[in-house]
Structure 1
């Protein structure tokens, strides 16, 4: 019989990182005033990271210590990476999507391929399923969802489900991960409830109990109230029996409901959720999508522009150029994806276009002329790419806000010069027919 006590091994190596015993590598990370020195061990770095293996191969020692400088990496990101190197653990629950996105890019450069793939899956769950939870909650694979991903979903303020439905899914997930529970709740013992409570101990604090209607409290929560802390259950009862009496429990706010646009072309106002484009821009873009010569009136826009990502908020296609306030973008009817291999992939479409938004009579529309390379699915360190016309690239390894624009695949240029440039903000929209 073989015993695998990996948790203890992970803790021991983490402690080795923290106490720096017998270190022989010093890594300086960041730029002034945010610099941090890490004391590490060449044997561990060499074995755990292809990036450091290459660095160590030709490194020279000074007083028996190897020194590295990584100025273009943040201390926060490297702290996650070095702890993963030593412990094999990455905890994502407490990080914003923007931080995770930056981490993903840097992990790819450190060649942690398996971890990159897992975080990609994690991001897809968090960013997509928060708005479409039925995609996972109603699937056969829901019960196999990892706890950290499940908790991240439960934490979302904009999870688009009723709180009582979220409770149902938590119970269902917990039962699936707790062995030997009777199917008939009426025959459950105290031990059965204790087992389920242990399984759900990290999930239960994220349920917004005080936002659940009293009928559902009676129907859904009461049968399982033994898995709750006594003070929580007492406060739930008090909230509905005497709503004006103060309680000790923290009352989490209701989840934010996504704004639903009015489903009529005759609607007087459709408010864009963008910090870059206006309602007039949306009318112009909608006209281009439909290949109209006349621009839609703002009261007859036939599309809803759903904001999926914002650079300053989520870390990842409309963009505003730093210092010039130019607004550039592209329209892609196909889905965006990450290629399976390490090389870019091309996609064919006759409907894509790139643009520069100005005043109505001065905006530039450039439709695709080489359909075979209209869209490029770039590497993980890149973003949306419209052929050679417009794309998010990375000339230097630490920059994720660097874009380029040139004229090759599309009819005409949308900038005066073909050059790399920095952006102030960028947004990704899903365009839905009303």
Structure 2
């Protein structure tokens, strides 16, 4: 019979960390020093294993000296407690600090702690994530094993795209992350709104880079059009290729896109003019599918009932948010749904073995 009595083991190792008995490593984290044991660091973290194996810097007491000046000392103290005891205590810890803890565990190759921390944030810190959404987005997609947090952010972004892209926080997105977002097929936002956001984002980047205040009115003036147009065109490349121009109606194209002709690549503009004037199919390799499906009807299994989605005034959620209905508008992740092709014009998704949704795309 095998017995596991872990609480006492964790307690003993915590005492070892606090007492620093027979320590052989000093880690300087900004203004604070941590005394540790190389054998424990080596066993618990691949990051420290590599660091300790490559080369050691000793002081006059024959102690290994390491510097980690970019980490918050409070976060590193939590890291050391986890390394020694396997315990993570987030009670009375600010969500921002927990997020920093997540990033630090990933950097130090403490992937078990990373996985647990991302789950904690999704389950207990949604308001903080939403309030600091750009900061979270700009960071988490660099972390390979944060799939749960990534999925939550994508689903939240798709549903709240209109409000998010109307916020100042959205202008802080990095170019790489914005490129990934514009590739999503289920953003709940009109394409013309994305276009106007993209202009505002580009202007903000130039403002930040050159420390000069610009706005869309200034771009249109003859005084600045040469000076500013090329900078904005360069900033928006290749993001502009991810705008689904075919989903923008002719009136909006004329009023909100045509004035910015000089920042639109010639191949895109010529292609769009042919599309809007004579209906020629676009030839440029731009995305053409609409971002949102239109839900035309719901067939309720077993009752032979058909509901017109125009009758729905509430937002309906199915499959834990994988399918979201808001009136006739629908967002579908499809991850929990069986996909089948009905004909050239319709697609359906089978949800929870009860409902079938006919989606016009």
Taking structure 1 as the reference length, the TM-score comes to 0.37
Ranked by relative contact order (alpha carbons within 8 Å, sequence separation 6 or more), the top structure is 1
Taking structure 2 as the reference length, the TM-score comes to 0.43
